[in-house]
Amino acid sequence: MIVCGIVGYIGTRLAVPVLLEGLKKLEYRGYDSAGIAVIEDGELVLNRSVGKLHMLEGKINGDAHQGHVGIGHTRWATHGRPSDRNSHPHTDCTGKIAVVHNGIIENFLELKEWLEENGHVFQSETDTEVLPHLVEHFHQGDLLRAVEQMVSKVRGSYATVVLSEDHPGTLVAARKDNPLIVGLGEGEYFFASDIPAIINYTRKIMVLEDGEIAVLTAEGVKVYKNGSPVEKEIQLITWDTKAAEKGGYPHFMIKEINEQPRALRDILTGRIAPDFSGVDLQEVSLTAEQIKNIRKIAVVACGTAYHAGIVGKYVMEKMLRIPVEVDIASEFRYRNPLIDAHTLTVIISQSGETADTLAALKEAKARGSRVVAITNVVGSSIAREAHDVVYTWAGPEIAVASTKAYITQLLGIYLLTLFLGKELGRIPAGEMTDILHHLYQLPKQAQDILDHLNEQLNKMAEIFNQWEDTFFVGRGLDYAVALEGSLKLKEISYVHAEAYAAGELKHGTLALIVKDVPVLALCTQPDVFEKTVSNIKEIKAREAHVIGVAFEGNKEIGKSVDEVIYIPETLPLLAPVLTVIPLQMLAYYASVHRGCDVDQPRNLAKSVTVE
Ligand code: AGP
């Protein structure tokens, strides 16, 4: 589970209310199921429930829980759809050891097999359940030692807390790649995925680093790394609760924009062969025969997801040499589309609940098409209806304007394309490895953009204080990204932004270009760079203010535009992943400068579940 909320408590208070309040504050991290485990009268008591936290509260309330030590979890499913038995905490065969976990156990299948060969019996479909069974396997009376041996067996990412009936006064936690903090109160101690869970009890925290294991008892906190004690710095938190849920960011949108490097790393986790020879998409069960019989690919979605689909058309036609149609779902479902058993339908949706997209999926299936969904929500209607699902693992996206979901949808399309391309023998081995190496660089390059362009874009966005209209232009993949850039600006700053294929302006829209009107010109595609520059010259001839977006090292573009946004260089095929980030930031700052409600823009909803 890549983005969940976990809490742990040991102290003098009753643990249940502390755990529930902590989980409530972490629900923005995941809210499809929840659970807690506490030690009461020497026994481990487990309560879990599918659905939002109030479902669990409904199950618990009324029972007089006496325990002073416990762990809790609110889930964002990745392995195993939301259900009571897939909810955390998970336990071992004896029911005496309980574990909550945030992250992904990449080698869980091989560990599960090994544990089953050693007599362990599994209850859930999750990757996490191998953890309590590993602790049970290694436990010889020393819980810390058993947890150390558990993590030595695990490959992947984790923030995990272990509670054992045999050690009622102890909590042990381990961290690698996923966030985990320790809260230090007066005679009470906390574990949490994030500050909001504990900020009402203490403002003193320790941040656990990768590879560290922490042991909490009523006496205090001990932290170890590679078996040796570690001195930890105590930090003082000054934020208020609301700010804390946004991780200290003023809005969920800018928080989610800054989560993109992590989201890119997560969607690539376990999906690229260690030797970069190919893509491992176990979740796509298409046979070689079925792949060989694909005559057409239909991509169907709405809004931002549809824009990801347009990038998909360019990428899949180029790499697979199979015709690709991209449709807005509300049009697709009523235009009697030419879809049959030789059509692979790719459905894209962040929420997995958009009504038009769901109906389009059913339409395609009814016509015999095989459906692969690229979605962010496990167990969503679209995930359940599709034949195969590529999850984007972006974590909950709270802001209405989609950002990290879009960028992971692009990665989903690249991974699916490379998977099909390998099966069809359409991508030479050298090219495959080169693309995969560049894909791997994207998280760091995205971080570079966030680190280096923030001020420039904040300043640049002020231009939209004077202008109610603007234009985005580009050719090829740049045109596809221009569509998304203009939607971002439109939906959160209410500036009337239009995107055009750069070569199309002279067929009418050029009439709208007036002196100083801002125009964003995307220029990352070398094969049409000169053509785009000549279109920019047409626009400049009408004295517009042109802002170019180009790869670092492009010395030419500066001669044709008024300002340039330089992004790190990658393969032109992968450029959309980096090009969109400054456009998201520009839209964000324009919305802030214009005093708009960034996270909940007027007239819009995060998931459109009506036609
Ligand atoms: C994008 O910022 C909007 N929130 C909207 O266009 C969205 O992309 C569209 O409603 C599709 O939603 P989905 O991805 O959840 O299906």
Show me where the domains of the chain are located. 5-244, 254-443, 445-593
440-476: pLDDT as tens digits: 999 999 999 999 999 999 999 999 999 999 999 999 9
CA of 606 to the centre of ligand 1 (A): 7
Q: CA distances (Å), 147 to each of 97, 481, 591, in order?
A: 11, 46, 47
Q: Do the Cβ atoms of 324 and 299 come closer than 8 Å?
A: yes
Structure tokens at 407: 């960028």
CATH number for the region 5-244 comes to: 3.60.20.10
Q: Which CATH architecture has domain 254-443?
A: 3-Layer(aba) Sandwich (3.40)
Q: In 3D, which of 189, 180, 167 has the Cα closest to residue 211?
A: 180
Query: Going by CATH, does the domain composed of 445-593 fall within 3.40.47.10?
Result: no
Atom of ligand 1 nearest to the CA of 405: 14
Please report the pLDDT score of residue 243 as a whole number: 62
Burial label, 344 (beta-carbon count in 10 A; 0-12, 13-18, 19+): buried
Buried b (16+ CB within 10 A) or exposed e, 50-77: bbebeebbebbeeeebebbbbbbbbbbb
Write out pLDDT tens, residues 521-539: 999 999 999 999 999 999 9
CB-ligand 1 contact for 354 (6 Å cutoff)? yes
pLDDT for the residue 510 = 97
Q: Indicate the Cα dihedral angle 469, 474, 477, 483, nearest 10°.
A: 10
Q: Is the pLDDT of residue 92 over 80?
A: yes
**What pLDDT does residue 241 have?**
62
In ligand 1, the atom with minimum distance to the C-alpha of 604 is 4
Ligand 1 nearest-atom number relative to CA 409 = 14
Cβ of 399 closer than 6 Å to ligand 1, yes or no, is no
Q: Is 522 left (phi over 0), alpha (psi -120 to 50) or beta?
A: beta
Those residues whose C-beta lies under 8 Å from the C-beta of residue 602, and which sit 6 or more positions away, are 494
Cα(89) to centroid(ligand 1), Å? 32
Which residue puts its alpha carbon closest to atom 2 of ligand 1? Answer: 401
Q: E strands along 329-426, which residues?
A: 343-349, 370-375, 388-391
Q: What is the pTM of this model?
A: 0.79
pLDDT at 365 over 70: yes
349 in contact with ligand 1, CB cutoff 6 A: yes
Task: Collapse the DSSP code of 343 into the 3-class scheme (helix H, G, I; strand E, B; otherwise coil) and give the result.
Answer: strand
> What is residue 396's predicted lDDT score, i.e. its pLDDT?
82
Residue-wise pLDDT for 7-19, tens only, equals 999 999 999 999 9
Q: 274: which residues sit within 8 A by CB, 6+ positions away?
A: none
| Element at 213 (helix H, strand E) | strand 212-217
Of the pLDDT bands very low, low, confident and very high (cuts 50, 70, 90), residue 64 is low
Residues 6+ apart with CB under 8 A from 391: 78, 283, 375, 376, 378, 383
Q: Measured between alpha carbons, how far is residue 343 from residues 102, 131, 282, 370, 430 in Å?
A: 37, 41, 21, 7, 29
CA atoms within 13 A on the CB side of 259: 31
Query: Average pLDDT of the chain?
Result: 93
User: Measured in angstroms, how far is the CA atom of residue 327 from the centroid of ligand 1?
Assistant: 14
pLDDT value of residue 52: 83
The two three-digit tokens of residue 345, written as one number: 């339908």
Percentage of residues of the chain with pLDDT beyond 70: 98
The whole-number average pLDDT for the span 88-106 is 94
Give the DSSP letter of residue 557.
G
Check if 254-443 and 445-593 are the same fold.
Answer: yes
Q: What is the pLDDT of residue 473?
A: 98
CA of 79 to the centre of ligand 1 (A): 24
- The per-residue pLDDT for 3 is 64
Task: Note the pLDDT of residue 72.
Answer: 97
For residue 586, give the 3-state DSSP assignment. helix
Q: How confident is the model at residue 178 (pLDDT cuts 50, 70, 90)?
A: confident
Determine the pLDDT at residue 1: 42
Residue 110 phi/psi, 5° resolution? Answer: -70, -35
pLDDT score of 379:
81
- Whether 76 shows a pLDDT value over 80: the answer reads no
Reported as a pLDDT band with limits 50, 70 and 90, residue 171 is very high
The pLDDT tens digits for 485-518 are 999 999 999 999 999 999 999 999 999 999 999 9
Residue 320: pLDDT over 60: yes
Residues paired with 473 in a beta bridge: 500, 521
Answer yes or no: is the C-beta of 351 below 6 A from any ligand 1 atom: yes
- Residue 141: which residues within 8 A CB-CB, separation 6 or more? 166
* Residue 262 alpha carbon to ligand 1 centre in Å: 21
- Evaluate if residue 231 carries a pLDDT over 80: yes
CA distances from 469 to 375, 542, 562 (A): 33, 15, 18
Q: Which residue has the higher pLDDT, 82 or 275?
A: 275
Distance of alpha carbon 329 from alpha carbon 327, whole angstroms = 6
Ligand 1 within 6 A of 492 CB?
Answer: no
Does 165 have pLDDT greater than 60? yes
Q: Which residues are catalytic?
A: 4, 606
CB of 600 closer than 6 angstroms to any ligand 1 atom: no
Does the pLDDT at position 43 exceed 70?
yes
Mapped onto helix, strand or coil, the DSSP state of residue 479 is helix
